[in-house]
Structure 1
């Protein structure tokens, strides 16, 4: 997919840093809440409440599959609300934000402690929290895609959202350890309120007639186009490659590196901080190479870094800190570029202003499915091969290294091949 020609979109041409901050600020609390939900929660329930890894994997798999399945429906709802008015979208966002805040608090501070009741509680609260998160994020992503523009402009819009999101991730990486979960929850509540208020004052996209959203089978519309199917396949392979180490990173730090809790914020903070700092660099690369080729560079960097991680052992915290920083640089492409590529696909398919919700509904479906597979398959497989938190047996640690380092490399290679042959080398104008 080659750099396209500038689009004659007034909103995109007028997109200033002030507009970027107003639109993108909601990305901060959405990313802030994502890290505790996807990274801290499994470790928290395993160590604090003694929930078995196999049980945790089943809970997360079920909740994330439910979350993934409702995303396309939420996307269709978003399209209909956009066709009505931006105020209707903002009203949905306000309701979803309230439910998200309540669900987050009740997940980390459960009102029950009995093992069976805790499992049921976690299942219900996860489904409620994920649904609210999805409704808010699909609407927010669709809003940004509807602003339009050429490749550089689209990547800039996404970069504001994801760059501020990385700021949220860095805060979420540090606050649970340094301030505790109660303070972390309060910070999230404040950031969510400020993000929604800023969003309500952002540049508003111009929606078109709701012919697609109201048509029978509109939910499947994105799959009519081969360019979307190809991009989605690459996105899923790459997403699973990123989701597996995200799920296992705390286990790797604690048991492979044998590092104490005090180092966790440094490792994770450097990962997300370098990702945020790398985004302007990647945007400059996009201007020279285009979105797809820049993303390919990021994939190869990630493969090299995780290959190095296989050689890291107990006590090698300095080497792992560099690995975290370099993998964060690679992460910058995963955050800023695929969404911009999707916005270009929507434009190419003639669906701008009509069906962004349908596209991002399936896009988020793929994201959640990746996370579900990572948790639902990686955790039980580790348990099957003898790994459990705190186990130092060579076979157990070897299984952890393969799952955390080798498997992501294999999946990234498959994603890179798909990106090159199906997108970069695809015939111009193929849809």
Structure 2
């Protein structure tokens, strides 16, 4: 069994650093699930207009993600490369979160312009934090397995953030029912915004003040332009394997998530269990990271990713055996899905930093931030494709949410819910199976990089 390096980062420091994932992950779910209906229905902007605003605001990501990635790679300051960007993005993130989640605090009844402007500011601030943090996490450790350990802390924090944000609306409903005053949408959205800010402020301060940023490598004497950097990074065959595999992973996860409530409510016939089962998956997802870290120690990153994806194939195929009366099987598969959750994402994220090392050895240019920005865009594209394909497909096959459906349309829902993710995860396993940058090759790359950096370092 391959053992992690003895040069391990302190657990408390990793926990402080990874705490940033709690508000960042916690912000994503309300933006996708709670805020659109709140602005469309409760604030009266309409579904069409709100959908257009949210869609167009994400177009910024295609521009800002790689731009921030490249600029943070090239930044040189006494505080580091990543920290200045994170510090600059933090106030944008805080103010925009307050404006979007609690507009009444500003004495405003927001309209389309208010939502549009603050969403753009929010996503710019989020990108200025998320991309440099991802690159920083990739470079926080240089050793092969230690990088997996860093990503495991982030995986656990991400799962915890998603779980806590899912619990909040349910807790407010229970408290409101006990008090005889049900929680309205405005209260739920404001509390979720408060959760994001309360967890974000200490997390950002802890990361900036208590966690070191590794020194930047010596700059390449001939810097290339943004377009050439992007082209050179994207042509790397190993990076393409990681990106396409992650696209398939995310596609499978989001197909399942977008159809989960429909499957449990309509096919299984238990709408009362839909929210609880969805939450159960995230409860066990908190424990997934350490399990897959140990598997990664034994098998290596890309083999652990393959095993994790094949496990998800088996779990999703198991859903074909679920019938309306087979609740124990559905519960067991939901727990298994939680324990397998993020196995591929965890390893693939750690592999991006290894590819960045290989590219720096070949070209002399550090593109870690750029590579993580491309990785981020791939996941966002898969999210859009999953929602844009799964929901229309089950509709074309005859399924109608909230209506009485025929047995044939319910069977179609089940087949898409089970086979769609299974095929996507199988594709992910196949795409990454031939990844050649293993622990031995990476150790050789790191050795050559350290020798070259030492030779290029200015004399004391």
* TM-score band w.r.t. shorter chain: 0.7 to 0.9
The structure showing larger relative contact order (alpha-carbon pairs under 8 Å, at least 6 residues apart) is 1
Cα separation, partners in 2 of 1:48 and 1:188, compared to 1, 3 Å: same
Task: Give the Cα–Cα distance (whole angstroms) in 2 for the partners of residues 297 and 319 of structure 1.
Answer: 22
1:307 matches 2:313: no
Task: Give the Cα–Cα distance (whole angstroms) in 1 for the partners of residues 52 and 35 of structure 2.
Answer: 14
CA RMSD of aligned residues (A): 3.7
1:249 matches 2:260: yes
1:28 matches 2:40: no
Cα separation, partners in 2 of 1:289 and 1:123, compared to 1, 3 Å: same
Give the match for residue 427 of structure 2: 414
Give how far 1:53 is off.
Answer: 8.5
Cα separation, partners in 2 of 1:379 and 1:133, compared to 1, 3 Å: farther
- Listed one character per residue, the Cα deviations across residues 11-60 of structure 1 (whole Å, up to 9, x for unaligned) are x9251102211211101111111222345556767887899999887666
Task: Give the Cα–Cα distance (whole angstroms) in 2 for the partners of residues 104 and 254 of structure 1.
Answer: 33
| Residues 22 and 162 in structure 2, CA contact (< 8 A), matched pair in contact too | yes
Task: Give the Cα–Cα distance (whole angstroms) in 2 for the partners of residues 333 and 320 of structure 1.
Answer: 21
| Residues 72 and 81 in structure 2, CA contact (< 8 A), matched pair in contact too | no
- Larger displacement relative to structure 2 (72-81 or 308-317): 308-317
Give the match for residue 196 of structure 2: 188
Task: Give the Cα–Cα distance (whole angstroms) in 2 for the partners of residues 18 and 110 of structure 1.
Answer: 36
Gapped runs of 5+ residues in structure 1?
Answer: 7-11
1:228 matches 2:222: no
Task: Give the Cα–Cα distance (whole angstroms) in 1 for the partners of residues 189 and 214 of structure 2.
Answer: 37
| Residues 285 and 339 in structure 2, CA contact (< 8 A), matched pair in contact too | yes
- Listed one character per residue, the Cα deviations across residues 339-396 of structure 1 (whole Å, up to 9, x for unaligned) are 1111111122236993211111111111111112122333344444444431331354
Give the match for residue 165 of structure 1: 158
User: What secondary structure, in the 3-state scheme, does the structure 2 residue paired with 1:403 have?
Assistant: helix
Task: Give the Cα–Cα distance (whole angstroms) in 2 for the partners of residues 223 and 234 of structure 1.
Answer: 14
| Residues 81 and 216 in structure 2, CA contact (< 8 A), matched pair in contact too | no
User: TM-score by structure 1 length?
Assistant: 0.83
Give the match for residue 145 of structure 1: 138
| Residues 61 and 376 in structure 1, CA contact (< 8 A), matched pair in contact too | no
- Listed one character per residue, the Cα deviations across residues 396-430 of structure 1 (whole Å, up to 9, x for unaligned) are 434433433221111111111112245589x9789
Match of 2:213 among 204, 209, 225: 204
1:263-282 superposed matches below 5 A:
264=275, 266-282=276-292
| Residues 249 and 425 in structure 2, CA contact (< 8 A), matched pair in contact too | yes
1:174 matches 2:167: yes
| Residues 155 and 340 in structure 1, CA contact (< 8 A), matched pair in contact too | yes
| Residues 241 and 411 in structure 1, CA contact (< 8 A), matched pair in contact too | yes
| Residues 88 and 128 in structure 2, CA contact (< 8 A), matched pair in contact too | no
1:366-385 superposed matches below 5 A:
366-385=378-397
| Residues 101 and 190 in structure 2, CA contact (< 8 A), matched pair in contact too | no
Give the match for residue 74 of structure 2: 80
Gapped runs of 5+ residues in structure 2?
Answer: 173-187, 446-460
1:67 matches 2:65: no
Task: Give the Cα–Cα distance (whole angstroms) in 2 for the partners of residues 407 and 58 of structure 1.
Answer: 27
| Residues 35 and 189 in structure 2, CA contact (< 8 A), matched pair in contact too | no
| Residues 13 and 149 in structure 1, CA contact (< 8 A), matched pair in contact too | no
Cα separation, partners in 2 of 1:386 and 1:63, compared to 1, 3 Å: farther
Bigger radius of gyration among the two: 2
Cα separation, partners in 2 of 1:410 and 1:37, compared to 1, 3 Å: same
Give the match for residue 401 of structure 1: 414
Task: Give the Cα–Cα distance (whole angstroms) in 2 for the partners of residues 36 and 232 of structure 1.
Answer: 26
| Residues 107 and 122 in structure 1, CA contact (< 8 A), matched pair in contact too | yes
Match of 1:15 among 9, 12, 17: 9
- Listed one character per residue, the Cα deviations across residues 101-121 of structure 1 (whole Å, up to 9, x for unaligned) are 44445555678999xx66x77
User: What secondary structure, in the 3-state scheme, does the structure 1 residue paired with 2:211 have?
Assistant: coil
User: What secondary structure, in the 3-state scheme, does the structure 2 residue paired with 1:349 have?
Assistant: helix
Give the match for residue 451 of structure 2: none
| Residues 252 and 424 in structure 2, CA contact (< 8 A), matched pair in contact too | yes
Task: Give the Cα–Cα distance (whole angstroms) in 2 for the partners of residues 203 and 143 of structure 1.
Answer: 10
Give the match for residue 148 of structure 2: 155
Task: Give the Cα–Cα distance (whole angstroms) in 1 for the partners of residues 269 and 93 of structure 2.
Answer: 35
Cα separation, partners in 2 of 1:416 and 1:59, compared to 1, 3 Å: farther
User: TM-score by structure 2 length?
Assistant: 0.78
